[in-house]
Structure 1
Amino acid sequence: MFSRKRGGPKHVRPTDAPPSAALERSLAADDEAPPPTHGPWDAKYAPEGVERLDLGSLQIPAIEGVEVRVQANPDGGVEQIVLVDGESALQLGVFAAPRSEGIWDEVRAEIAQAMSADGVAPREIAGPYGIELAAQVNTPEGPADVRFVGVDGPRWMVRALYQGAAASDPSREGALGQVLSGLVVIRDAEARPVREALPLRLPKEMADQAAAQAEAQGAQGPGANGRHA
């Protein structure tokens, strides 16, 4: 999976684009906030009666045909989430952000700068959540299309990375797009540095299963995989 650690300044410029719909709702008074029509949802807006995989700060809706691959450490802390549907994949991350400011514009600029430094030519495109970032990158298997999507919410930001068919052609998001729009973010009350990854954990049954497999197979390294269809 394409991944890069990013640092840099922590504050958004005042000239950046307006906040996302999720962030605008959080800034409005509760009695004036318009009802949301889609996610990623803040916990207080999440629809009821939906089956979801509970990973702590992030809940993933169960969509038929979508495989959820979860990489975790021996303590059950989730280090990577990748969803696969046919020829497309979606990698998810969720991070702390200020309540009154979005950080996706700045994060997107830094991703683009890092790509350019590696000789990649990123381009900005309009998407349903705002400005996205698309590019073709070099991988051990050859050139691959990637597309970054960011959603600013109240004190959180979801970063989604499409790969494969859904990266080269947004109309092919299909079930992965449904998953993204159905995500639920559970932001705790703890003060966290901007951009810190929000804590993710395996559900108890998956953690117990991973521990049992590790014990049965012996030392297999730090990774543990969980799958949920």
Structure 2
Amino acid sequence: MFGRRRREESPAVADEVEEVEQVQARESGPWDSGEPCSERERVDLGGMRLPVDPGFEVQLNLAGDHIVGAVIMVGESALQVHAFAAPKRSGIWDEVRDELAEGVKGAGGTAEEREGPFGVELAAQVPADGVAQPVRYIGVDGPRWFLRAVISGRAALDAEAAATLEGVIRDIVVVRGDEPMAPKEAIELRLPPEARQAMEQHAAGGDVPDLNPFKRGPEIAELR
């Protein structure tokens, strides 16, 4: 009886082992919070730990009162990142990529697939104020999450400028959490504790400097 039960459960066990092996085989990020990753300074945004370096300006994307994404500005370039829930055993980048391409073309722009450092990505020209803006859409399927990155500005065309932002993507840590979430549901972010404390003190009338470097960031062809 014990032996029969083991044989009946073995396919599920094998799937779990295979899934663990796939996660362990990843050689670079973005990382899941349950994986070992490189040590570097990161801003803790709850659902995402965002690498920061001197010269970075970090802004936040808001949906109503909720923080759903972040933007890193470096010189003449910008990186916008959003994390979403995804099915346990399948990625969604192929589907999201088709939706993004359709949306860009529907808005009068162009989009074509090409191979990039994170796999297949979209190289697009997105209309903005009557001018075509070069944009790179990058997607990474993780364990139960999906990270979408949008590179714009100089880094969309300049490989040297892009290398800095690609390095940021590789060092992002996604904190999916255990709560049930629908596929494509945004993983909500929050201000780090020190920024929240500074804002609360400021709201209470305390004499503190403006320590909050975050503000609403620009939406770069926000298509889903």
State the secondary structure of the residue aligned to 2:186: coil
- Counterpart in 1 of 2:36? 46
Shift in CA distance, 30/212, structure 1 to aligned 2, threshold 3 Å: same
Count of residue correspondences: 194
Distance (Å, rounded) in 2 between the aligned partners of 1:167 and 1:125 = 13
Q: Measure how far apart 1:168 and its partner are.
A: 2.1
Matches within 5 A, 1:150-189: 150-189=139-178
Deviation at 1:202, TM superposition (A): 0.6
1:58 to 10, 28, 48: 48
Separation in structure 1 between the aligned mates of residue 202 and residue 192 of structure 2, nearest angstrom = 15
1:188-210 deviation digits (Å, cap 9, x = unpaired): 11111100001211112112323
Unaligned residue ranges in structure 2 (runs of 5+):
1-15, 206-211, 216-224
Please state whether the residue corresponding to 1:68 is helix, strand or coil: strand
Q: Which residue of 2 aligns with 1:18?
A: none
Cα displacement string for residues 98-149 of structure 1 (whole angstroms, at most 9, x for unaligned residues): 0110001100100111111122111111111111111112212733111100
Determine if the alignment matches structure 1 residue 113 to structure 2 residue 102: yes
Same amino acid, percent of matched pairs: 38
Query: 1:197, 1:125 → 2: CA distance?
Result: 26
Whose RCO is larger (CA < 8 A, sep 6+)? Answer: 1
SS at match of 1:197: coil
Indicate how the Cα distance of structure 1 residues 213 and 158 shifts in structure 2: closer, same or farther if over 3 A, else same.
same
Give the deviation of 1:215 after TM superposition: 6.3
Aligned pairs for 1:174-213 within 5 A:
174-213=163-202
Following superposition, the deviation at residue 63 of structure 1 comes to 2.4
Note the residue ranges of structure 1 that are not aligned, 5 or more in a row. Answer: 1-25, 217-223
Q: When the two structures are superposed, what TM-score results if normalisation uses the length of structure 2?
A: 0.76
Q: How does 1:132-143 map to 2 (within 5 A)?
A: 132-140=121-129, 142-143=131-132
Offset from partner CA, 1:51-108 (integer Å, 9 cap, x none): 2110011001222322212255896x42441101111100010000001100011001
Aligned to 1:226: 214
Q: Rate the CA distance shift 1:56–1:121 in 2: closer, same or farther, 3 A.
A: same
Assess if the C-alpha contact under 8 Å between 1:94 and 1:158 holds in 2.
yes
Aligned equivalents of 2:98, 2:145: Cα separation in 1: 18
Q: Distance in 1 between matches of 2:213 and 2:87?
A: 32
